[in-house]
């Protein structure tokens, strides 16, 4: 009671003052608004920022005086607060008024209280210390019987409230859930939502009350509770599956117009409510068929009802589509949803177009054909004047990138990059490009260089966080690796060592790099390019100390493991040993170091041996080593390294010690200035030389010598990815063909040889952009009108087929053709049974293909739709650039390719017992003899040599009955597929450089005239009968070309080659999406672009 009296007393002088000075509240109001008005007018009249500052500062000073004056009434305080709010909004500091805002909220009447609360909510942030002073007021107001006060208190709680004080108000707010007024209940629910967000464990016990809120008789309260459910379901959908029925019922009623008309917005019933419910359903039905089935009806209804042409109906439609694609698929709904997406994409309204693209981006993985349908629009959108639309389109393209279209897509991205000036977008896009580059290692050195410059520019200009920089650089190194210019890693290391302006920032960058590399090294069965490993080892050696005291041993262990790995070149090993040397002084125990010394002091590689000896000597004298290898002295260290390189030329170990000692003495000098020519060592060198030491040889020279020594013995593996562990690395196709040819020689020389050998043939087809078609026009087109070439290419294919037809009739082939053929066979190597010679040397490749074959078979068996989808999507999406009519063709080619693979592999590996051929063959054996209506008009007639017409029974004659054409191509031996007394069917294959011909030869043994033949092929969609040859003259040949051209095969092959299979171990605790994603990110280096709908 006493404080009330006190308050009243303090208020009294103000009252008098107010009455005296203004004579009434009306006047006060006028004076206030005029004062604020004056301020506003004053500010608007000003021209410079400086003047504005002055004016506001003046105003703030006035306000400061007023608010702290004891005579100021609450009413005046309220006015002051409004002006303070205005000043704060303009960005000026009004912190002196914060405490007064809290006071006002505490003491004022309703109107003043409201302003006080408002000021508090605008001024303070969640961790502000003054906020604690508000708690009492809030508690008091929550207990008030005045609804407005309760409302205000609930509002402030949901806006800003100290986490640790939640228990103080929680019971009060819980009580409010039973309040008779719906508005209070509703606000209470939202306040609880706030608590759920900031401190979920504190509201766990009231989940049952949320359910009550969901069942509230008032729609508003129920709608408010949906916020909570959306959040909770997003976090853990499985716990709320039982509510699906309720949500569906609610949505049904809403859609059915059962709500009061008040809830209609533009005659759409409660659109926001519908949106919320659809989102919840989408989350609940994800990957859950049973739950999804519950919602099919209502979704269908929603899709049907949303006909009105208002903005908000589209909002509902969009959510609906999103939900339909999120939940367990139902084809009917998908169809309708696809139609809706069409509506969006084709809409002239730009907002809808944007959303259409967004929807496409979302569904593209599930249904790539949809993108094909809208490809024209997508292409238009690429050149849309609105950069946001463009960006969304790029996002869409990013999702459908594959080996074939990557060049075009990256080019588009780069174009966009040049136009864009927004930091966020640039940073994002550069990262994406680097990722793509990593995923599809087709880039030549120039592109890598360009990418590197791009990354550095981005860092310079925008300084995105360390994580971005290191990860993007990791991507660049992984992809560029061995093709990149050696300057790039060197520059990067220098950048790390020299750092930017801020030292702590530098340390963080280095620390991040160290951590990131350690994680990368932990990944098993992944092979990084040598240069990348070198970068890693340098950074680890230099900066592992940043991790703390305990870790050097661990790092050394990792480096040692790497050293023992077979896939490491000796140059990289030298880097690794250097890193270990640097780390040794920091480590406590050095078992591993000892082991390493033992291992490498006997190494045949002189360079490594010397490194090891050096380490050994240093290791014997720890103190000396510590002073010699101080931490974080990398810049000086460079001199040291060079000097050491010099010292290494002296074979005698004493000399090394001497050299190092000399260097030690020169340390002060080194710190002053870095003398890169090391002139200060000249005297020393001269002395040593005069004593008979070997002259210094530059590093590369030594390397060469080393290599020449090594020619006999090879310590290297035969190609990175072909170790027996299986095909796990990311390899360029070149790598495959190279690796397969490396036999016994030293890898490096071996590689060189194969390189030069292969280049003659390959140069024309494989360029830095990836695959180059034979007709040079493609590259030209690509730069001008990127979407078109895909189409022209396919057209070309058709052309080529046509020409081929001509050629087959005129079997004279130019020399060029022969060359092509050679090339084709070198590309198709391993596909024909003729290539046994090649096969000998490449068991790995075959086994790898063999594995893939089984995968294809799996796909075929149709049990795993998902795999099927995946394979299909990777293929058919490739043709996104092509126009719709080409889709069929493309799709066919994909399938054809699979078939082709199977057949050829079978013929390779399983002899003639071709399993996958059987269904075909069986059908064939039933071939009913009827009119060849199936065949197209452009039949081709092959006339087999007359001599063979008579003798048809024996296989020998069949061989001779091969088409003339076949003699010029690789072909398999004909095998009899089936026969009966009248006819026999045999088949063989012809590999032409642009297609595979399946030839079935039908022999009539009876001597009766065959009137007609009907060919039925079981999975019809796998084949397209383009040109078939039928000869009815006692002997019948049916040639079924599997139309696949070199180009297509090259590409398909490429996409296969990049197919990476990796088993990821995920513990069950990692079930949550974020952790799964994180694992995926780390393991597969996937990039999470956007998590839609969860």
- Interacting positions 285-314 with other proteins (CB under 8 A): 311-312, 314
In angstroms, the CA 962 to CA 700 distance is: 57
- Tell me the CA distances in angstroms from 881 to 150, 349, 376, 781, one per residue in order: 61, 24, 9, 13
Supply the minimum distance, in Å, between the C-beta of residue 109 and other proteins.
Answer: 5
Of 89 and 822, CB closest to other proteins: 89
Which of 49, 50, 167, 262 is the binder for other proteins (CB under 8 A)? Answer: 262
Supply the minimum distance, in Å, between the C-beta of residue 356 and other proteins.
Answer: 11
Q: Give one DSSP letter per residue of 774-841, joined into a string.
A: SSTHHHHHHHH-THHHHHHHHHHHHHHHHHHHHHHHS----HHHHHHHHHHHHHSTTTSGGGHHHHHT
Tokens, residue 948:
């063979």
Give the per-residue SS3 of 47-98.
CCHHHHHHHHHHHHHHHHHHHHCCCCCHHHHHHHHHHHHHHHHCCCCCHHHH
CA dihedral 928, 934, 935, 937 (to 10 degrees): 130
Of 55 and 689, CB closest to other proteins: 55
Applying CB under 8 A, what is the total number of residues that bind other proteins? Answer: 113
Which residues, numbered 216-245, are part of the site for other proteins (CB under 8 A)?
A: 217-220, 222, 224, 227, 230-231, 234, 245
Which residues, numbered 13-52, are part of the site for other proteins (CB under 8 A)?
A: 14-15, 18-19, 24-25, 33, 36-37, 40
CA-only gyration radius of the chain, Å: 38
Supply the minimum distance, in Å, between the C-beta of residue 865 and other proteins.
Answer: 29
Is there a contact between 296 and 329 (Cβ–Cβ < 8 Å)? no
Contact between 107 and other proteins by CB under 8 A: the answer reads yes
CA 1068 to chain centre: 23
Contact between 817 and other proteins by CB under 8 A: the answer reads no
Of 435 and 834, CB closest to other proteins: 435
Supply the minimum distance, in Å, between the C-beta of residue 817 and other proteins.
Answer: 52
Of 133 and 978, CB closest to other proteins: 133
Contact between 382 and other proteins by CB under 8 A: the answer reads no
Which residues, numbered 390-409, are part of the site for other proteins (CB under 8 A)?
A: 391
Of 253 and 912, CB closest to other proteins: 253
Supply the minimum distance, in Å, between the C-beta of residue 78 and other proteins.
Answer: 9
Which residues, numbered 462-501, are part of the site for other proteins (CB under 8 A)?
A: 464
Supply the minimum distance, in Å, between the C-beta of residue 252 and other proteins.
Answer: 10
Of 186 and 778, CB closest to other proteins: 186
Contact between 4 and other proteins by CB under 8 A: the answer reads yes
Supply the minimum distance, in Å, between the C-beta of residue 546 and other proteins.
Answer: 20
In angstroms, the CA 529 to CA 935 distance is: 52
Which of 237, 407, 428, 1046 is the binder for other proteins (CB under 8 A)? Answer: 428
Q: Which residues pair with 984 in a beta bridge?
A: 979, 1003
Contact between 146 and other proteins by CB under 8 A: the answer reads yes
Of 271 and 585, CB closest to other proteins: 271
Task: Tell me if residue 529 falls in helix, strand or coil.
Answer: coil
Residues 6+ apart with CB under 8 A from 745: 711, 714, 753
Which of 210, 263, 532, 1000 is the binder for other proteins (CB under 8 A)? Answer: 263
Among 203, 309, 226, 241, smallest CA distance to 272 is for 226
Among 167, 263, 174, smallest CA distance to 213 is for 174
Of 157 and 663, CB closest to other proteins: 157
Among 247, 253, 254, smallest CA distance to 270 is for 254
Which residues, numbered 153-212, are part of the site for other proteins (CB under 8 A)?
A: 154-155, 158-159, 181-183, 186-187, 190-191, 193-194
Contact between 422 and other proteins by CB under 8 A: the answer reads yes
Which of 385, 668, 692, 695 is the binder for other proteins (CB under 8 A)? Answer: 385
Contact between 888 and other proteins by CB under 8 A: the answer reads no
Which residues, numbered 347-376, are part of the site for other proteins (CB under 8 A)?
A: 350-351, 353-355
Of 279 and 330, CB closest to other proteins: 279
* E strand spans, 251-403: 264-265, 268-269
Tokens, residue 326:
């999120």
In angstroms, the CA 1069 to CA 1072 distance is: 7
Residues 6+ apart with CB under 8 A from 596: 560, 563, 577, 580, 612, 615
Supply the minimum distance, in Å, between the C-beta of residue 143 and other proteins.
Answer: 7
Which of 253, 515, 801, 867 is the binder for other proteins (CB under 8 A)? Answer: 253
Supply the minimum distance, in Å, between the C-beta of residue 566 and other proteins.
Answer: 41
**Site track 81-100 with other proteins (rule: CB under 8 A), x = hit:** -x--xx-xxxx-x-x-----
> Apex CA 258: angle with CA 252 and CA 263, to 5°?
105
Which residues, numbered 313-342, are part of the site for other proteins (CB under 8 A)?
A: 314-315, 318-319
In angstroms, the CA 702 to CA 731 distance is: 30
Of 423 and 922, CB closest to other proteins: 423
In angstroms, the CA 689 to CA 701 distance is: 18
Which of 17, 55, 122, 795 is the binder for other proteins (CB under 8 A)? Answer: 122
Is there a contact between 1045 and 801 (Cβ–Cβ < 8 Å)? yes
Of 118 and 206, CB closest to other proteins: 118
In angstroms, the CA 548 to CA 514 distance is: 12
């Amino acid at each position: 009671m006493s404080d009330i009296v006190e308050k009243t007393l303090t208020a009294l002088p103000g009252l008098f003052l107010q009455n005296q000075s203004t004579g009434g509240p009306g006047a006060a109001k006028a004076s206030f608004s005029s004062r604020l008005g004056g301020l506003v007018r004053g500010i608007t009249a000003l021209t410079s920022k400086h003047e504005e500052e002055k004016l506001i500062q003046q105003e703030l000073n006035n306000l400061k005086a007023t608010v702290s004056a004891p005579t100021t009434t609450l009413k005046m305080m309220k006015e002051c607060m409004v002006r303070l709010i205005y000043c704060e909004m303009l960005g000026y500091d009004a912190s002196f008024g914060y405490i007064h805002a809290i006071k006002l909220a505490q003491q004022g009447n309703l109107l003043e209280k409201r302003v006080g609360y408002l000021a508090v909510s605008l001024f303070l942030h969640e961790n502000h210390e003054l906020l604690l002073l508000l708690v009492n007021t809030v508690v008091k107001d929550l207990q008030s019987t005045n609804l407005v006060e309760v409302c205000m208190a609930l509002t402030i709680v949901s806006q800003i409230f100290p986490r640790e004080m939640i228990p103080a108000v929680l019971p009060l707010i819980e009580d409010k859930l039973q309040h008779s007024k719906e508005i209070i209940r509703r606000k209470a629910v939202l306040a609880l939502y706030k608590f759920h967000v900031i401190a979920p464990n504190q509201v766990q016990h009231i989940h049952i009350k949320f359910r009550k809120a969901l069942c509230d008789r008032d729609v508003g309260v129920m709608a408010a509770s949906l916020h909570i459910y959306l959040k909770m379901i997003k976090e853990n959908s499985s716990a709320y599956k039982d509510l699906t029925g309720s949500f569906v019922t609610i949505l049904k009623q809403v859609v059915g117009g059962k709500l009061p008309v008040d809830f209609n917005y533009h005659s759409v019933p409660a659109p926001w409510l519908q949106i919320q419910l659809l989102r919840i359903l989408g989350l609940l039905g994800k990957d859950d068929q049973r739950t999804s089935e519950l919602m099919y009806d209502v979704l269908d209804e929603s899709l049907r009802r949303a006909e009105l042409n208002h903005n908000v109906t589209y909002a509902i439609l969009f959510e609906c589509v999103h939900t339909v694609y999120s939940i367990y698929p139902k084809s009917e709904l998908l169809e309708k949803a696809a139609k809706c997406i069409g509506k969006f994409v084709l809409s002239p309204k730009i907002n809808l177009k944007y959303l259409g693209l967004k929807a496409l981006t979302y569904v593209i993985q599930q249904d790539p054909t949809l993108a094909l349908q809208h490809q024209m629009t997508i292409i238009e959108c690429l050149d849309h004047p609105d950069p946001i639309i463009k960006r969304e389109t790029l996002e869409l393209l990013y999702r459908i990138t594959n080996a074939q279209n990557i060049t075009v897509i990256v080019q588009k991205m780069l174009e966009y990059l040049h136009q864009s000036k927004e930091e966020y977008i640039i940073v994002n896009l550069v990262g994406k490009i680097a990722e793509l580059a990593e995923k599809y290692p087709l880039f030549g050195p120039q592109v890598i260089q360009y990418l590197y410059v791009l990354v550095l520019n981005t860092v310079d200009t925008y300084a995105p966080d360390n994580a971005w920089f290191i990860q993007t650089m990791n991507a660049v190194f992984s992809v560029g690796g061995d093709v990149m210019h050696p300057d790039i890693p060197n520059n990067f290391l220098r950048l790390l060592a020299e750092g930017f302006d801020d030292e702590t920032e530098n340390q963080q960058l280095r620390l991040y790099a160290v951590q990131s590399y350690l994680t990368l090294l932990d990944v098993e069965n992944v092979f990084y390019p040598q240069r990348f490993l070198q970068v890693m080892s340098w950074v680890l050696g230099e900066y592992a100390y940043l991790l703390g005291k305990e870790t050097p041993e661990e790092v050394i262990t990792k480096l040692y493991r790497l050293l023992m790995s077979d896939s490491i070149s000796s140059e990289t090993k030298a880097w690794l040993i250097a890193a270990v040397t640097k780390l040794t002084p920091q480590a406590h125990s050095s078992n591993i170091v000892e082991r390493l010394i033992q291992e490498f002091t006997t190494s045949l590689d002189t360079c490594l041996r010397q490194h090891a000896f050096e380490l050994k000597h240093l290791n014997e004298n720890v103190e000396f080593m510590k002073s010699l290898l101080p931490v974080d002295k990398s810049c000086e260290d460079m001199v040291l390294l060079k000097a050491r390189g010099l010292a290494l030329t002296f074979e005698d170990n004493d000399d090394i010690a001497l050299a190092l000692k000399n260097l030690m003495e020169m340390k002060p000098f080194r710190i002053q200035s870095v003398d890169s020519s090391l002139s200060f060592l000249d005297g020393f060198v001269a002395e040593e030389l005069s004593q008979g030491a070997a002259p210094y040889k530059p590093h590369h020279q030594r390397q060469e010598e080393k290599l020449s020594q090594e020619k006999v013995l090879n310590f290297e593996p035969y190609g990175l990815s072909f170790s027996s562990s299986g095909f796990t690395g990311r390899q360029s196709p070149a790598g495959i063909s190279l690796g397969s040819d490396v036999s016994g020689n030293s890898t490096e020389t071996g590689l060189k040889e194969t390189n030069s050998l292969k280049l003659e043939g390959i140069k024309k087809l494989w360029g830095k952009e990836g695959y180059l078609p034979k007709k040079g026009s493609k590259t030209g087109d690509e730069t001008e009108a990127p979407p078109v070439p895909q189409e022209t290419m396919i057209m070309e294919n058709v052309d080529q087929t046509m020409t081929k037809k001509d050629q087959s009739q005129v079997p004279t082939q130019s020399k060029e053709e022969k060359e092509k053929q050679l090339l084709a066979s070198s590309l198709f190597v391993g596909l024909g049974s003729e290539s046994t010679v090649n096969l000998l040397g490449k068991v790995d490749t075959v086994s790898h293909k063999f594995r893939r074959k089984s995968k294809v078979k799996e796909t075929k068996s149709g049990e795993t739709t998902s795999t099927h989808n995946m394979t299909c999507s990777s293929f058919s999406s490739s043709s996104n650039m092509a126009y719709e009519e080409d889709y069929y063709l493309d799709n066919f080619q994909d399938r054809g390719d699979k078939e082709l693979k199977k057949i050829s592999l079978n013929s390779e590996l399983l002899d003639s017992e071709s399993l996958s051929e059987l269904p075909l063959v069986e059908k064939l054996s039933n071939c009913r003899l009827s009119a060849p209506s199936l065949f197209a008009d452009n039949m081709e007639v092959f006339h087999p040599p007359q001599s063979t017409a008579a003798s048809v029974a024996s296989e020998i004659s069949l061989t001779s009955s091969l088409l003339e054409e076949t003699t010029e191509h690789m072909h398999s031996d004909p095998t009899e597929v089936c026969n009966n007394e009248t006819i026999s069917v045999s088949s063989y294959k012809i590999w032409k450089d642009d297609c595979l011909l399946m030839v079935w030869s039908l022999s009539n043994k009876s001597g009766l005239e065959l009137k007609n033949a009907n060919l039925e092929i079981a999975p019809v969609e796998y084949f397209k009968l383009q040109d078939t040859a039928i000869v009815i003259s006692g002997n019948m040949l049916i040639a079924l070309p599997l139309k696949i051209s070199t180009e297509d095969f090259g590409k398909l092959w490429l996409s296969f080659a990049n197919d990476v299979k990796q088993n990821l171990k995920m513990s069950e605790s990692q079930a949550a999406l974020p952790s799964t994603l994180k694992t995926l990110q780390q393991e597969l280096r996937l990039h999470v672009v956007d998590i839609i709908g969860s």
